[in-house]
């Protein structure tokens, strides 16, 4: 079938178990669509592929064109939902070694990411690398107050101003933030930077199809119209509350069935290394949405066949608490044939004339059956090819499955209160005004 498909024939469940989830699916569907569930203020993403601000979308395209004309590099500064979606799409749809492709042979600029860690070495390396290049920055933060991107923004803004002067720098700074609140919005108003809005109804991890993801993605030369086409079709295809007819809801339901049977860990698996950041995006989506109130499936990831040589053992024979969700691309865009070798010293002439994609497929099928034999249920999401359209569709598939799955689990899938704990401690240890008492308590504990 020429569409995204969900295959649960290796899920190690009975059909009636899925049918029995119908009432819970219907209830979750109502909570989400009628916007009456927990966190409903953050469900604007459900219809966003239709309701997005069309005028802003044109500005995003124009900004991307300007960046392509005046820059070799775009530095995207953001953390969590403010960078993972863009990175997932860019890495999935770009040449595997895109940074080394000369600009004249590529559709867009090289996109590098900063402000997603606090490593001095990482930042220094990036600063050294772009020093000599023409670059622009897109700083992305919904709250406008997150420490990691704020630190990086200070430093890159300073570099831009030294290189191009204050006025020149202004032409190269793009800000994506809340419409009204936060330090970044204030700064935009003061400095007159070009800015884009993260709408109120979108939490960071649900924001990739807004300006948050679209500006970096478009600057990288990826067709955002097609991405949105895929997402729009997904809105239509995944709105049937009948679990028998909705693959997205089947995935949400089966995750919960497996979780109730003791599967505490879900491994996102792909056989294309370009999906590695898609896996990171997926991990934030499910981890922050479901991991609360002492509940949630731990989202992990593996890249096969690479990790079959490291994690393969524990998946096959380790504790029986995990399942795999495999994303399989039916027709990869490129391929290489295995050549015949007269000597045949490696004994591989039996596959000469075959292609790497063929061998990869056999690895997939062999692994699937081996892991299922090891009691690891496998859920398979197949896309016909890896392009913008199916990327958009798959993003929406996972977003919606996550919202529905979270409601079935009985949590608010749209908040992330637990993330604040480390931040408070870090601020206190850094001596942020207002955190004095916590600082002395923490220093006592660290001494011990
Ligand atoms: O966009 P920002 O407000 O800077 O937030 C960036 C990220 O950091 C927070 O700590 C949250 O856990 C994430 O959900 C969010 O995506």
Query: What is the interface pTM, i.e. ipTM, of the complex?
Result: 0.98
Q: What is the DSSP letter of 340?
A: P
Measured from the CA of 81, which atom of ligand 1 is nearest?
16
The C-alpha angle 167, 172, 174, rounded to 5 degrees, equals 115
Which residues surround ligand 1 with Cβ inside 6 Å? 79-82, 141-143, 146, 149, 204-205, 288, 416, 419
Measured from the CA of 212, which atom of ligand 1 is nearest?
A: 1
Strand order in the sheet with 322-329: 5-10, 378-383, 322-329, 265-270, 298-303
Give me ligand 1 centre to Cα 353, in Å.
49
Take atom 4 of ligand 1 and give the residue whose Cα is closest: 141
CB environment 270-286: b (16+ within 10 A), e (fewer): bbbebbbbbbbbbbbbb
Condensed to tens digits (0 to 9), the pLDDT of residues 63-72 reads 999 999 999 9
Whether 176 contacts 196, CB under 8 Å? yes
The closest-lying atom of ligand 1 relative to the alpha carbon of residue 182 is: 3
Instruction: Output phi, psi for 9, to 5 deg.
Output: -70, -10
Instruction: Give the pairing type, strands 265-270 and 73-77.
Output: unpaired
Q: Output the residue whose Cα is nearest ligand 1's atom 9.
A: 80
> Which of 118, 146, 196 has most ligand 1 atoms within 8 Å of its beta carbon, as the pocket-test mutant?
146
Which mutation among 76, 118, 143 tests ligand 1's pocket best, with the greatest number of atoms within 8 A of CB?
143
Which pTM does this prediction carry? 0.97
* Confidence at residue 140, expressed as pLDDT on a 0 to 100 scale: 98
Q: List the chain pLDDT tens, one digit each, 448 residues.
A: 689 999 999 999 999 999 999 999 999 999 999 999 999 999 999 999 999 999 999 999 999 999 999 999 999 999 999 999 999 999 999 999 999 999 889 999 999 999 999 999 999 999 999 999 999 999 999 988 899 999 999 999 999 999 999 999 999 999 999 999 999 999 999 999 999 999 999 999 999 999 999 999 999 999 999 999 999 999 999 999 999 999 999 999 999 999 999 999 999 999 999 999 999 999 999 999 999 999 999 999 999 999 999 999 999 999 999 999 999 999 999 999 999 999 999 999 999 999 999 999 999 999 999 999 999 999 999 999 999 999 999 999 999 999 999 999 999 999 999 998 999 999 999 999 999 999 999 999 998 7
β-pairing, 265-270 vs 378-383, is unpaired
Q: Specify the pLDDT at position 326.
A: 98
> Which bin fits 338, alpha (ψ -120 to 50), beta or left (φ > 0)?
beta
- Looking from the CA of residue 143, the nearest atom of ligand 1 is 3
Tell me the best of 140, 150, 198, 204 to mutate to test the pocket of ligand 1, counting ligand atoms within 8 Å of each CB and taking the most. Answer: 204
Task: Quote the ligand 1 centre to 81 CA distance (angstroms).
Answer: 6
- The rounded Å distance from CA 395 to ligand 1 centre is 19
Minimal-distance CA residue to ligand 1 atom 10 = 419
Specify the pLDDT at position 103. 87
Atom of ligand 1 nearest to the CA of 177: 1
pLDDT at 447: 85
Residue whose CA lies nearest to ligand 1 atom number 8 = 80
Q: What positions carry a catalytic annotation?
A: 288, 423
Closest of 175, 195, 178, 210 to residue 44, by C-alpha: 210
Domains of the chain: 5-37+228-409 (3.40.50.10490), 47-222 (3.40.50.10490)
Report the separation in Å between the CA atom of 146 and the middle of ligand 1, taken as the mean of its atom positions.
7
- Angstrom CA distances, 287 to 37, 279, 366, 413, 428, stand at 19, 12, 29, 10, 26
Query: What is each CA distance from 121 to 79, 126, 148, 280, 429, in whole angstroms?
Result: 17, 9, 14, 22, 21
Alpha-carbon separation of residue 358 from 326, 329, 337, 364 (angstroms): 17, 12, 9, 10
CA of 369 to the centre of ligand 1 (A): 39
Query: How many angstroms does the Cα of residue 314 sit away from the middle of ligand 1?
Result: 32
Ligand 1 atom closest to Cα of residue 140: 1
Which mutation among 84, 179, 416 tests ligand 1's pocket best, with the greatest number of atoms within 8 A of CB? 416
pLDDT value for 448: 77
169 CA to centre of ligand 1 in angstroms:
26
């Amino acid at each position: 079938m020429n569409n995204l498909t969900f295959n649960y024939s290796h899920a190690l469940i009975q059909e009636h178990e899925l049918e029995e989830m119908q009432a819970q699916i219907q209830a979750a569907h109502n909570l989400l669509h009628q916007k009456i569930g927990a966190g409903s203020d953050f469900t604007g993403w459900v219809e966003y592929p239709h309701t997005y601000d069309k005028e802003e979308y044109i500005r995003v395209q124009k900004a991307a064109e300007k960046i392509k004309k005046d820059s070799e590099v775009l530095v995207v500064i953001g953390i969590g939902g403010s960078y993972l979606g863009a990175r997932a799409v860019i890495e999935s749809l770009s040449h595997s070694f895109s940074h080394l492709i000369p600009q004249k042979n590529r559709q867009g600029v090289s996109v590098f990411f900063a402000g997603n860690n606090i490593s001095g070495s990482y930042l220094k390396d990036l600063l050294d690398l772009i020093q000599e290049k023409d670059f622009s920055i897109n700083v992305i933060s919904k709250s406008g107050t997150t420490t990691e991107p704020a630190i990086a923004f200070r430093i890159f803004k300073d570099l831009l101003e030294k290189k191009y002067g204050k006025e020149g720098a202004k032409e190269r700074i793009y800000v994506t933030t809340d419409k009204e609140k936060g330090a970044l919005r204030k700064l935009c108003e003061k400095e007159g930077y070009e800015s884009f809005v993260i709408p109120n109804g979108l939490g960071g991890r649900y924001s990739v199809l807004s300006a948050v993801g679209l500006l970096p993605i478009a600057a990288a030369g990826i067709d955002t119209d097609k991405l949105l086409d895929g997402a729009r079709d997904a809105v239509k295809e995944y709105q049937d509350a009948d679990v028998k007819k909705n693959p997205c809801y089947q995935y949400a339901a089966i995750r919960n069935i497996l979780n109730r049977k003791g599967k505490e860990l879900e491994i996102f698996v792909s056989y294309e290394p370009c999906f590695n950041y898609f896996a990171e995006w997926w991990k934030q989506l499910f981890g922050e949405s479901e991991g609360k109130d002492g509940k949630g499936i731990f989202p992990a990831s593996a890249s096969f066949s690479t990790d079959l040589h490291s994690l393969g053992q524990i998946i096959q024979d380790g504790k029986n608490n995990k399942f795999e969700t495999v994303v399989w691309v039916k027709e990869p865009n490129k391929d290489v044939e295995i050549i015949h070798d007269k000597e045949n010293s490696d004994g591989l002439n039996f596959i000469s004339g075959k292609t790497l994609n063929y061998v990869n497929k056999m690895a997939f099928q062999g692994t699937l059956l081996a892991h299922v034999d090891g009691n690891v249920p496998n859920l398979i999401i197949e896309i016909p090819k890896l392009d913008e359209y199916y990327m958009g569709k798959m993003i929406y598939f996972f977003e919606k499955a996550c919202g529905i799955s979270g409601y079935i689990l009985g949590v608010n899938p749209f908040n992330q209160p637990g993330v604040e704990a480390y931040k408070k401690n870090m601020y206190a240890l850094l001596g942020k005004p207002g955190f004095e008492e916590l600082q002395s308590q923490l220093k006592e504990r660290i001494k011990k």
